Amino acid sequence: MKPTIAIVAGGDTSEYHVSLRSAQGISSFIDGERYTHYIVVMHGTDWHVQLPDGTTRPVDRNDFSFTHPDGTRVTFDFAYITIHGTPGEDGRLQGYLDMLRIPYSCCGVLAASLTYNKFACNQYLKAFGVRIADSLLLRAGQTIADAEVVQRIGLPCFIKPSLGGSSFGVTKVKTPDQIQPAIAKAFGEAQEVVIEAFMEGTELTCGCYKTRRSQVVFPVTEVVSHNEYFDYEAKYRGESDEITPARISDGLTRRVQQLTLAIYDILGAQGIIRVDYIVTAGEVINLLEVNTTPGMTATSFIPQQVRAAGLDMRQVLTDIIDNQLNPR
């Protein structure tokens, strides 16, 4: 009997619909001859399975199962998590699946919760010699004067949610009068806000994954936004150029790839991750953030990089799933 895979999507953040698109991408990539798969959508306490005929069935959260219309009880052998935000990117869902002994595609509880918090993750990696931008953290209820931001971080700067993705609640601040509205906007998305120094340079991103038998690092992508920065419109509405492989030297490419693999090991990552960077003058590589459930639509960075590497997304997903389903 074929293993049954849950492609888990949705979540409780503004990236809900982005996650649903990633789920459709993964569904198109998974090898249907090897696995039976269903998309499981989560939003708050509403967990349901999408069936091929367009109907839905509720998920029993006691054992992560559902009853098929034909009356059979369907349990899942594996979860491919593609929620961009809570509860799938911050470790909560991973803890639930761990207790049910259901293997899954991405980082465990600790690595997921750490990488979900941009400020904490970057400060942690800084201790291992990874270069990051100067930054400040605000938690709900805390305030900061405009003059202090200018003095400690400088302008321009980025003000963004510290928790979750980077598609919503992000502002590039150029003048002091923009600081407080940007902080309020970021707090509209999360309970923690990071104020981060602007770095002038080339934006790059690189994905990788490891199994017990191999490690794979993908070609580097160069990101050229048509907007002020790589915002929602640049990501999802075609307002950017995504160039794979990046127009950088072979030496810089190797350094970015080696750093990506090193970050994977430092974090104890699983499955596919994608790491975003800014390369400043003198080919200095600066970390932006680590993504442990990267977008997986046909036009997302990871599928682009897989194609550029001459690999097949179906085989990549099979490697990741089988690595967890067959631990020996």
pLDDT tens, position by position, 213-271: 999 999 999 999 776 654 444 444 556 799 999 999 999 999 999 999 999 999 999 99
Specify the pLDDT at position 326.
84
Task: Check whether 210 has a pLDDT greater than 70.
Answer: yes
Six-digit token string for 275? 């790491």
**Tokens of residue 239, six digits:** 């307002």
Quick one: tokens of 54?
């367009």
Question: What class has domain 113-117+200-322?
Answer: alpha beta
DSSP string for residues in 262-309: HHHHHHT--S-EEEEEEEETTTEEEEEEEESS---STTSHHHHHHHHT
Neighbour tally for 247: CB within 10 Å: 9
- Contact yes or no for 261/215 (Cβ under 8 A): yes
Record: fold of 135-197: Dna Ligase; domain 1 (3.30.1490)
Q: Please, are residues 279 and 272 in contact by the beta-carbon 8 Å criterion?
A: no
CATH architecture of residue range(s) 4-105? 3-Layer(aba) Sandwich (3.40)
Strand segments, DSSP code E, in 44-150 are 46-50, 56-58, 65-67, 73-75, 78-81, 135-139
Give the pLDDT band of residue 14 (cuts 50, 70, 90).
confident
- 311 pLDDT exceeds 90? yes
Residue with structure tokens 């502002």?
171
Instruction: Collect all residues with Cβ–Cβ distance below 8 Å to 54 and sequence separation of at least 6.
Output: none
Enumerate the CATH 3.30.470.20 domain ranges in the chain, comma separated: 113-117+200-322
Please give the model's pTM, rounded to 2 decimal places. 0.92
Question: Residue 186 pLDDT > 60, yes or no?
Answer: yes
CATH 3.40.50.20 in the chain is located at 4-105
Q: Average pLDDT for residues 286-303, to the nearest whole number? A: 93
